[in-house]
Amino acid sequence: MPSSVYSKDNLRLLKKNLRSFWDIYRQNTMGLIGLCILCFFTLLAFLGPRLVDVTTYVVDGVTQTMHPPVSGYWLGTDNLGRDILAGVVIGTQVSLLVGVAAATISMTIGTVIGIVAGFYGKLADKLLMRFTDVFLVIPWLPLVLAMAALLGPSLGNIIFVIGITSWAGTARIIRSQTLSVKERPYVERARAIGSSGTHIMLRHILPNVFPLIYANTILVAAIAILSETTLSFLGMGDPTRISWGMMLHYAYEMGAVISRAWWWLLPPGICVVLVVLGFTFIGFALDEVLNPKLRRRDR
C-alpha cells in the first residue's frame, strides 16, 4: 500500500492541489507580505553570514565603542566595540531556530493530546482537558521563568520550556476538530472492518485535522520568537549564543538607554517585530485559505 501513495496519479493530484492552494493564497495581501518578510529573514539567516562580515562581532579592543552608524559599521557598535549589524545577522539564526523548534514541540504535544482526548472521549477526554485547562489558566511567563531558572540557561532549555508550555491552545482546537471528524462515515467504515484505534487516528483523523495544525503552528512560532526575546531580556537566555533578545539584554544592562544608543536598541527590536508580524500574517492567511468558512466572509 505505501508505494501507491507516491504513484503518478497521486503526485499529479498533489500538484493540482498545491496549484489551487497557491491561486487562493496569492489573492491574500496579508499572506503575501508575511511570506516576503519571512523569505527575507530566512535568506538572511542562511546567506547573511556570507554577505556581511560576521567576524566583526568580536571584542578586538581597537574598534571604537558605542559609535553611532558610520560607513563600514552600518548599524554602529556596542559598548565593547562589536559590530551591531553582524550581531543582528547572527541573531537571526537563533531566533528563527527557537521559533521553528519550539513550535514543532508544542504542535506535537498539542496534536497528540487533542486527538487522543477527542477520539477516546469519556474519562480520557475529561482528564486530558482538565489538564489542558490548568495549563491555560497558569500565568505563562512566571511558569516559564521559574522553569528556565531551574533548568539553567541554554538554547536547548529555552526551546524545551517554550515548547512544553504553549501547546494548550492547539490541543483545544485539535480536540474539537477531532470530535467532528470521528463522526464521519469513513471512520465508521474503518471501525467496522476492525481497524485499531491507533490506525484510525493516524490514517483518518490526523490528515483531516492537518490544515488546522499548519495555521496554528505558524501562529505559535510567532509567539515562541517573542517569548525567546522576553526570556533572554530577563536574563534567562543562553550567554554563549547571540540572539536579538540577548542583544537587547546586554544593551539594557549596559546602559544603552542613558547613553542614547538608539542604534543598539532599535535594530534587534525591529527585527523581532517584523518576524513576528511575518509569521502572524502567514498564520492568518493560511487560516483563511484552509478554512473555507472564513474565506471572504462578508458580513
Partner 1 sequence: MNMRLYLLSKFSQAVVTIFIVLIINFFLFRVMPGDPVRVLIRSPRISAETLARLRERFGLDESLLTQFWVYLRDLFTLDLGSSFNYRQPVLDVILERVPATLLLVGTATLLSIVLGISLGVLLAWKRGTRIDVGGLALSLILYAMPTFWVGIIMLMVFAVYWNIFPLWGMGVPGAIYQTFWAELLSRLHHLFLPVLTFTLILVGEYALIMRSSLLEVLHEDYMLTARAKGVSATELLRRHALPNALLPMVTLIAINLGFIIGGAIQIETVFSWPGLGRLMFSALTDRDYPVLQGLFLFITICVILANLGADIIYRYIDPRVKA
Binding site for partner 1 (CB under 8 A): 130-131, 133-134, 137-143, 145-147, 149-152, 222, 226, 229-230, 233-236, 245, 248, 252, 257-258, 260, 262, 265-266, 269, 272-273, 276-277, 280, 299
Residue among 211 and 235 whose Cβ is closer to partner 1: 235
Least distance from partner 1 to the Cβ atom of residue 72, Å: 25
Cβ pair 3, 54 in contact under 8 A: no
**d(Cα 58, Cα 72) in Å, to the nearest integer?**
15
Q: Which residues of 34-70 are buried (b: 16+ CB within 10 A; e: fewer)?
A: bbebbeebeebbeebbeebebebbeeeeebeebbeee
Least distance from partner 1 to the Cβ atom of residue 264, Å: 10
Determine the straight-line distance between the first and last CA of the chain, rounded to whole angstroms: 46
List residues bridging with 77 in a β-sheet. 83
Residue among 58 and 141 whose Cβ is closer to partner 1: 141
Least distance from partner 1 to the Cβ atom of residue 205, Å: 28
Least distance from partner 1 to the Cβ atom of residue 291, Å: 16
Least distance from partner 1 to the Cβ atom of residue 248, Å: 7
Least distance from partner 1 to the Cβ atom of residue 134, Å: 5
3-state secondary structure of 281: helix
Residue among 181 and 222 whose Cβ is closer to partner 1: 222
Q: Residue 271: count other Cβ atoms within 10 Å of its Cβ.
A: 21
By CB atoms closer than 10 A (0-12, 13-18, 19+), residue 134 is exposed
Cβ pair 215, 290 in contact under 8 A: yes
Q: Give the chain's length.
A: 299
Residue among 182 and 267 whose Cβ is closer to partner 1: 267
Least distance from partner 1 to the Cβ atom of residue 283, Å: 11
**d(Cα 213, Cα 215) in Å, to the nearest integer?**
6
Residue among 170 and 229 whose Cβ is closer to partner 1: 229
> Which DSSP string do the residues of 204-217 spell out, in sequence order?
IIHHHHHHHHHHHH
Residue among 32 and 206 whose Cβ is closer to partner 1: 32
Residue among 18 and 138 whose Cβ is closer to partner 1: 138
User: What cell numbers appear for 117 in the block?
Assistant: 482526548
